[in-house]
């Protein structure tokens, strides 16, 4: 459920102090049409915008559906002025979310060509104010949300290790974290993977390693531990996914799913 306060902020940003462009009388209908193929997402946000303005909205597609060029995903009816006031915000939100979902679907499809078990996950590299929409779009594309915020997992990064050492950093956060909170440890060399697992990591993040080093790190980890998850991350593009999926990692996390996804091209048509 998207709160009215968020919708109001979206609309205020677009409408400014005095909207004269959309002073159109009467009632009308409209529809949101895809101009290119992709994966649908963000319709919950688009509907929230129209609902807030008193415009009736009916989805003709659901999140994760495949839409072809020319396909209608949303129909609306109501006051023309309010419909036109909301259409650009709704189109922008749905287009951005659908772009994220489409890119995620491509990455998941690429992974499945090599491995049925590897997860494709997002990161916290999201747009401020839009994280919920972007994370739901990742799910619509078949991906995993990873942690939604800093409270969902302890991430022991290079700066922590530089200050406290790898084992010391893990011990420090283990003492402070809930029993239900997983600890992930970032390593930069293949030989550090089993060290992180031995120190108590639930997940070992293999950071910025090329596929060959990643495979070596996974092999090193599996020699000592079969339970700790291995995650590959760092500048991984969709074209790189098959190579990383072949390394044996459990998770491939990609910031590009949210921060570099193209917008899916939608058009809003009235009447």
32 bridge partner residues:
74, 268
Read off the DSSP letter of residue 201.
-
Q: Let me know if 125 is a catalytic residue.
A: yes
Q: How many residues does the chain have?
A: 271
d(CA 224, CA 249): 15
206 bridge partner residues:
187, 232
Give the count of beta carbons closer than 10 Å to the beta carbon of residue 2: 17
Q: 112 with 148: CB under 8 angstroms?
A: no
Selected catalytic residue, list 35, 125, 135, 157:
125
Q: Quick one: how far is CA 69 from the chain centroid?
A: 23
d(CA 240, CA 237): 5
d(CA 74, CA 1): 18
230: left (phi over 0), alpha (psi -120 to 50) or beta: beta
d(CA 79, CA 248): 55
d(CA 115, CA 137): 22
Side-chain-side CA neighbours of residue 89 (13 Å): 27
Judged on CB neighbours under 10 Å (0-12, 13-18, 19+), 200 is middle
Q: At 207, phi and psi to the nearest 5?
A: -95, 125
The residues that are catalytic are: 125
């Amino acid at each position: 459920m998207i709160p009215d306060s968020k919708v109001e902020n979206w609309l205020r940003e677009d409408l400014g102090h005095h909207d004269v462009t959309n002073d159109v009388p009467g009632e009308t209908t409209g529809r949101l049409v895809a101009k290119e193929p992709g994966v649908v997402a963000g319709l919950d946000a688009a509907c929230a915008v129209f609902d807030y303005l008193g415009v009736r909205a009916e989805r003709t597609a659901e999140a994760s559906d495949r839409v072809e060029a020319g396909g209608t995903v949303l129909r609306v009816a109501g006051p023309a002025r309010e419909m036109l006031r909301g259409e650009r915000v709704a189109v922008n939100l749905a287009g951005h979310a659908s772009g994220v979902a489409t890119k995620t679907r491509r990455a998941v499809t690429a992974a499945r060509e090599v491995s049925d078990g590897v997860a494709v996950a997002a990161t916290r590299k999201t747009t401020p104010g839009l994280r919920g929409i972007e994370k739901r779009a990742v799910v619509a594309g078949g991906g995993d949300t990873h942690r939604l915020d800093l409270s969902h997992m302890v991430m022991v990064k290079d700066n922590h290790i530089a200050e406290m050492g790898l084992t010391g950093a893990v011990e420090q956060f283990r003492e402070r974290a809930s029993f239900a909170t997983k600890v992930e440890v970032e390593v930069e060399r293949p030989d550090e993977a089993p060290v992180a697992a031995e120190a108590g990591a639930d997940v070992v993040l293999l950071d910025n390693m090329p596929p060959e080093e990643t495979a070596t790190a996974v092999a090193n980890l599996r020699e000592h531990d079969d339970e700790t998850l291995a995650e590959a991350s760092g500048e991984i593009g969709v074209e790189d996914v098959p190579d990383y999926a072949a390394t044996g990692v459990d998770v491939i996390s990609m910031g590009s799913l949210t921060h570099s996804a193209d917008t899916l091209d939608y058009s809003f048509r009235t009447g």
